[in-house]
Amino acid sequence: MRRGILLIVAALLMIGATPATKPAAEPAEVLAARQHLADVTASVIKGFDAGPKGMPLAAAVEARRQALEDARANGSPQDKLDASAAYNRARRDLDAAHQEALRTSADVVAAQAKLTLAKASADKEKADAEAANAAAAEKGANDPGRPPAAAVTPNDAKVPISGNAKAPIHLLDDVMVLYLQKIQCSAASLAISKGDTLLYERGYGWLDQEHKTAAPENAFFGIASCEKPITAAAVRKLAAEGKLNLDAPLFATLGIRPAGAIIDPRVNHITFEHVLDMKAGWGGDIRDDLAKAAQASGTTPPFTIPVLLSQAMSRRLEADPGKVENYSNFGFDTLRYVVEYESHKQPGVYYREGLLHRSNCDGIGQPEELSPKQQASHAVWNLKDGGPIFASARYLCFFMDEYWETGKPRDRDHPLWVKYGSLPGSTSIMIWRQDGFNVAAAFNGRNETTHDEIRAALEKALDQYVGTRQAR
C-alpha cells in the first residue's frame, strides 16, 4: 500500500509538468497545493514508517494478523479478543494514512484543473486571434486598430458543458473537465442526487469523434460493471415478486441440460444466490473457455447463455458452491439472461419499466435498442465499447436512491458503497456516500487513470461545495 501511495503522489506531482527547456510559471495556488501535497505526503509516509514500536504500519498490520491467527489456533477466548482488537487498530491506522494521502492528492487535482482550464482558455484566445487575423489578411482588410473577430468552428477549443446552466458548480466541473482530458476521451457526464432529488446534472465534451455534437447532460454511456448492482436489483426484485426463488438450483430452474456428462455433481447445487454473490464455484471469467468448448463440440456462434451454461454443467468446479468468491462477469451475463427468462422482457426494458418507482427513468438500455435518432442525439460514439448495458448518470443516481450496491432495497442505514466500471469505452463510478449524497460519473474511455483518483477529486470538490453552502 505504501508503494501505491508513493505512485499516486509521484503521478500527481508530474501533472502539468513542462519540459526543462520550456519552463512555465504556475499559478500561486498550484504551487501552494504542490507544497501542501509534499508536506502532508511526508507526514503520511512518516506515519507508514512509524507504527507501533517503530514498526512500519504495513508490517504492523501483518504482525497483528499473524498474532490473531495464532490466538485463534491456540489462545484463550480473551487472547482472541485482544488479538482481534490489536489487528483492527492497526488496520484502521493504515486505512487512515491511505485516506489522508487520497484527500491530499485531491487538493493538487483541484488546483491543476483550474490551471488546465486557464491554459485552454489562453490557447483558445490565441487561436481565435490568429484565425481572425488570417481571415482579415486574406480579405485585404487587416486593420491593426480593429478588434479581432471570434472564430467559431465545429472543433471549438473550449470543452462544451451542458445542463444546470443557472447554477454551475465550478469545483465539480473543473474536476470533470480535467479527467476528460486526462483519460483522453471525448465525453463525460456527472449527476448528484440526495433524498430522491436530482441536485446536479452535467454533460461534458462531445458525443461524436468529430467534436460537432455536444454531449447533453443525460447522455448515454456504456457503464461496464456498474450494471452489476442494477442487474442484481432486478433479480432480487423478481424474487420479491415471487417469480424466482434465489435458493433454487440454477440449471434445473432454467431448464439447462448438460452438453456432455456431468463430471462434478456439485453443479446441481449452484443457486441463483450463489451467482449473485459470485460464489458459484466455477471460478472467475469462464466465458471464453465455455465458448471454446461449445465450438469444439460443433456449435456455431453466436453462443447464447443457455449454450454456455450447458457447457458449464460439464465442467469440474473449482470450489463448493457458496464457499469461495470469484469476480465473474459471466455470472452477471447469466443473471441478465435470468431477468429476461423470468420477466419475459429484454433486460434493458425491464430496467426501464419494472425496476424503479419513478416514471421518468428511461435513461438505460442495451445499445441494440437505440434508434438512429437516439444514437445521434444521446449516445456516445463508442457506446458498445462500454459493455452490454448503457445508462445516463441521471439513471444511476435514480437507481442509487432506491437500491444499495448489493441490489437490495435502500433502507435508512448510512453505509458507504462504491462501484466502479472499466472497459475500453468506459470509466464509470457510482458512490453511495454516508451523508446521503449519491454521485455518478461516466467517461467514454479508459487509460491508466484510476477510479480512486477520480473519486477522491470528485468527493473533495463536493465536500468543499457542501461546506461552503453550510457556512453561508
pLDDT at position 423 is 97
470 or 172: whose pLDDT is higher?
172
Mean pLDDT of 147-171: 63
pLDDT at position 59 is 72
pLDDT at position 218 over 90: yes
Q: What are the tens digits of pLDDT across the range 403-426?
A: 999 999 999 888 899 999 999 999
pLDDT at position 146 is 31
DSSP bridge partners of 422: 427
pLDDT at position 432 is 97
pLDDT at position 353 is 92
Residue 337: name the closest of 231, 259, 224, 249 by CA: 231
Least confident segment among 35-49, 143-157, 197-211, 253-267:
143-157
pLDDT at position 153 is 29
Q: 89 falls in which pLDDT band (50, 70, 90)?
A: confident
pLDDT at position 36 is 62
pLDDT at position 109 is 55
C-alpha cell at 290: 465455455
Q: 462 falls in which pLDDT band (50, 70, 90)?
A: very high
pLDDT at position 142 over 50: no
Three-state DSSP class for residue 419: strand
Least confident segment among 76-80, 216-220, 336-340:
76-80
- The CATH code for residues 152-223+355-471 is 3.40.710.10
pLDDT at position 151 is 22
Q: What is the largest CA-CA distance in the chain?
A: 95
pLDDT at position 18 is 42
Q: What are the tens digits of pLDDT across the range 14-68?
A: 544 444 444 455 555 556 666 666 665 665 555 555 555 555 666 776 777 777 7
Q: What are the tens digits of pLDDT across the range 252-270?
A: 999 999 999 999 999 999 9
Three-state DSSP class for residue 53: helix
CA–centroid distance for 89 within its chain: 30
The C-alpha atoms of residue 280 and residue 272 are separated, in whole angstroms, by 9
pLDDT at position 355 is 94
Entry pTM? 0.69
How far apart, in Å, are the Cα atoms of 324 and each of 119, 229, 277, 281, 283? 51, 20, 10, 7, 9
What DSSP designation does 271 have?
A: B
Length of the chain: 472
Quickly count: other Cβ atoms within 10 Å of residue 19's Cβ. 7
Mean pLDDT of 275-294: 95
What is the torsion angle, in degrees rounded to the nearest 10, for the CA atoms of residue 79, residue 82, residue 87 and residue 93?
-160
The C-alpha atoms of residue 287 and residue 248 are separated, in whole angstroms, by 23
pLDDT at position 154 is 31
Three-state DSSP class for residue 49: coil
| Mean pLDDT computed over every residue of the chain | 82
